Chain A
């Protein structure tokens, strides 16, 4: 089932709140439409290969405690980009 932009943002917020053990209401967000270089949204996990097709999606920036975290999403997936040096599909 396709993921909407709102669903993606909500999923990202929940993920970050859980990772940082903070209340989701403390997280500020900004979202923009974006084009990613591949079907892993430019954020492949270790050992992952992806189709090299330009992919439309959303760049979701979440801020809390003075730090900003980037999530990337499209209709198929939500990914956390370079969190402590690694990418995660959530």
Chain B
């Protein structure tokens, strides 16, 4: 070997030693990571742990396919290897101090849950589970999904049904899992077309819409200019949308009572902007003409640059109005979803339509009401062709006039639940079209046997699924 060859070989040897040392360190890092304390699916490595992750780990088994399998005693190593080879897996490690347990890597990168199911189906297997990633809980970690600090959250069965007051555990919209993705955005505006809103309510005030200073006051050729700083009052063609009934305030709270503020309740959205529109009076009723005026106002504001994406309409009657239908269609053309109450007459809307929920306009989502046991509420209208979806709508706690809270029932209450979920979707997908928004909303249901043949989707809205 001449001197030049010797130097080349020496350099190569040094490089190889460095590579081997680095690989060894990587392996040690990996093992250290696994030995930490706390539960995470392996797939959750992309970002630092948040307080939401631990509970997600309990409910979501996804990502890198690494499972722990306990084979029954007497199953030979050869059999184990044959089985893992058959599944295109490999035994990564044997756990000496836990006889029968094997750590198995799935070379196909299938979901851990599927791999677990595959092994559980084998007669040779006693048990199989995903290999949870472990971490040390820090001071900000909590053992559960995002749990708002609002003291009456525990009464909000629609958001998290633990079986309280005779309810059925899990008969809810999976709000907590949804909040692991987003709790809403103050860039999303939801128009509450109702009896107005008590915009001074302490649980609503931070989430109320205010006309941005860069957007001019509302001008209508017939009505003149209205300083719509706080919203719009179509009854008086004025600026003040203060609620004198309570119904609109209740609906607004369901959509967006501020979450995590240590006060009262939380809305489906912790953060959102509620645009209050008043067309119903202190008695809770109003005219079709004023409803049309208010929707016209929303469209005008959208065109002026306000990001209003949803109109929540917890009202109706059996009287059809062409003017109302036309203006809702106009809202569709301006990318605004129109969520409407199916009605409370216990009747079939396919046979006896209820408006505006029964208008055949693409942006209309008609909502039926469920009780805390996932049963269609006795009062709720239904219709497999004309009612799209169901949502909690009985004994719903929400904001009321004078910083109060009350439980109310009706498809009025189910409607803002769906509007709220739509707002969460927009928060997560700001550019989503109204067609895709509706599609996503309706695809994200938990099917319920009682809703088969009753509503088109056959299911209850699920906020977590809507955000996936």
Contact = CB atoms under 8 A, between A and B. Distances in A.
Interface stretch (B174-182, B262-270, B315-323, B424-432): B315-323
A53 interface: yes
A19 to B, nearest CB: 22
Interface string A38-75: 11101010111111111100000000000000000000
Contacts of B345: 37, 42
A29 B287 CA distance: 31
Nearest to A47: B288
A49 B280 contact: yes
B285 A52 contact: no
A51 B284 contact: yes
B379 A37 contact: yes
Contact of B321 (A37, A42, A47, A77): A47
B314 A76 contact: no
A47 B289 contact: yes
Contacts of B346: 37
A76 B184 CA distance: 36
B343 to A, nearest CB: 6
Interface residues of B, number: 37
Contacts of A38: 284, 343-344, 410
Contacts of B287: 47-49
Nearest to A40: B285
A50 B397 CA distance: 20
Nearest to B369: A52
Contacts of B315: 49-52
A55 B280 CA distance: 15
B282 interface: yes
B255 interface: no
B408 A50 contact: no
A51 B285 contact: yes
Given A37-B343, A49-B286, A51-B284, A44 B195 contact: no
A28 B315 CA distance: 35
Interface in B331-345: 341-345
Nearest to B346: A37
A31 B341 CA distance: 30
A55 B379 contact: no
A77 B288 contact: no
Interface in B238-281: 245, 247, 250, 279-280
B283 interface: yes
A49 B245 CA distance: 15
Contacts of A51: 194-195, 245, 247, 280, 284-285, 314-315, 410, 412
Q: Mostly helix, strand, loop or mixed at chain A's interface?
A: loop
Given A37-B344, A38-B344, A76-B282, A52 B412 contact: yes
Contacts of A48: 285-288, 317, 319
Contacts of A44: 285, 317-319
B409 interface: yes
A63 B288 CA distance: 34
A7 B110 CA distance: 71
B410 A53 contact: yes
Given A42-B345, A52-B315, A54-B344, A76 B408 contact: no
Nearest to A77: B283
Contact of A54 (B245, B282, B285, B409): B409
A7 to B, nearest CB: 15
B386 interface: no
Nearest to A74: B283
B277 to A, nearest CB: 13
B156 interface: no
A42 B285 CA distance: 11
Nearest to B324: A49
A52 B341 CA distance: 7
Most buried by B among A37, A40, A55: A37
A82 to B, nearest CB: 13
Given A39-B247, A47-B288, A76-B283, A53 B316 contact: no
A37 to B, nearest CB: 4
Contacts of B194: 51
Most buried by A among B250, B289, B314: B314
B363 interface: no
Given A40-B285, A48-B285, A76-B282, A53 B247 contact: yes
Interface string B355-375: 000000000000000000000
A34 to B, nearest CB: 13
Contacts of A37: 343-346, 379, 410
Contacts of B247: 39, 51, 53
A77 B415 CA distance: 25
Nearest to B357: A52
A46 B288 CA distance: 9
Given A39-B285, A76-B283, A53 B321 contact: no
6 contacts: A37-B344, A51-B314, A51-B410, A54-B379, A54-B409, A77-B283
Interface of A: 37-40, 42, 44, 46-55, 76-77
